[in-house]
Amino acid sequence: MNKIKTEVLIPSEFSYKKEGNKASIEVYPFEAGFGVSVAHPIRRTLISSTLGYAPIALKIDGVRHEFDSLKGMLEDVASFIINLKNIRFKIKDPNKDEIEVSYHFVGPKEIRGEDLITDEVDVVTPDEYIATLNDEGELKLSLIIKKGMGFVPVENYRDTIPEGYIGLDAYFSPIKKAIYNIENMLVEDDPSFEKVIFEVETDGQIDPIDAFKDAINNYLNQFAVFSKEFKLETKQKEEVELPEEYNVLFEPIENLNLRSRSFNALDRAGIRYIGELVLMGKEKIANIKNLGTKSLEEIFEKLEEIGFSLNKPLPLNIKKAVEEKLAKLKENQ
Please indicate, yes or no, whether residues 289 and 186 belong to a single structural domain of this protein: no
Please indicate, yes or no, whether residues 41 and 96 belong to a single structural domain of this protein: no
Q: Using 50 as the pLDDT threshold, list the residues of the chain that sit under it.
A: 1
Please indicate, yes or no, whether residues 43 and 55 belong to a single structural domain of this protein: no
Burial class (CB in 10 A: 0-12, 13-18, 19+), 37: exposed
Domain boundary residue among 171, 198, 222?
Answer: 171
The CATH number linked to 115 is 2.170.120.12
The dihedral sign for the CA sequence 208, 214, 215, 220:
positive
Query: How does DSSP assign 293-331, residue by residue?
Result: HHHHHHHHHHHHHTT--TTSPPPHHHHHHHHHHHHHHHH
Instruction: Write down the pTM of the prediction.
Output: 0.70
Please indicate, yes or no, whether residues 59 and 110 belong to a single structural domain of this protein: yes
Domain boundary residue among 142, 171, 200?
Answer: 171
DSSP bridge partners of 111: 131
What are phi and psi for residue 171, nearest 5 degrees?
-110, 100
Please indicate, yes or no, whether residues 157 and 69 belong to a single structural domain of this protein: yes
121-123/89-91 β-pairing? antiparallel
At residue 283, the pLDDT reads: 83
Asked, for residue 123, whether it belongs to a domain, the answer is yes
At residue 1, the pLDDT reads: 44
Task: State yes or no: cis peptide before 55, omega within 30 of 0.
Answer: no
Asked, for residue 236, whether it belongs to a domain, the answer is no
From 148, 119, 159, 167, select the one nearest 51 (Cα to Cα). Answer: 148
Asked, for residue 235, whether it belongs to a domain, the answer is no
**Residues 98/99/105/111 CA torsion (nearest 10 deg):** -40
Q: How far apart are CA 260 and CA 290, in angstroms?
A: 12
Please indicate, yes or no, whether residues 119 and 256 belong to a single structural domain of this protein: no
At residue 236, the pLDDT reads: 58
Asked, for residue 239, whether it belongs to a domain, the answer is no
The CATH number linked to 303 is 1.10.150.20
Asked, for residue 104, whether it belongs to a domain, the answer is yes
Please indicate, yes or no, whether residues 125 and 162 belong to a single structural domain of this protein: yes
Asked, for residue 140, whether it belongs to a domain, the answer is yes
Please indicate, yes or no, whether residues 55 and 45 belong to a single structural domain of this protein: no
Please indicate, yes or no, whether residues 163 and 57 belong to a single structural domain of this protein: yes
Asked, for residue 238, whether it belongs to a domain, the answer is no
Please indicate, yes or no, whether residues 66 and 162 belong to a single structural domain of this protein: yes
Please indicate, yes or no, whether residues 33 and 141 belong to a single structural domain of this protein: no
From 117, 102, 101, 106, select the one nearest 73 (Cα to Cα). Answer: 106
From 249, 250, 222, select the one nearest 310 (Cα to Cα). Answer: 249
- Domain, as residue range, for 197: 13-49+175-230
- Our count of domains for the chain comes to 3
Q: How far apart are CA 321 and CA 170, in angstroms?
A: 48
Please indicate, yes or no, whether residues 222 and 148 belong to a single structural domain of this protein: no
Burial class (CB in 10 A: 0-12, 13-18, 19+), 242: middle
What are phi and psi for residue 112, nearest 5 degrees?
-125, 175
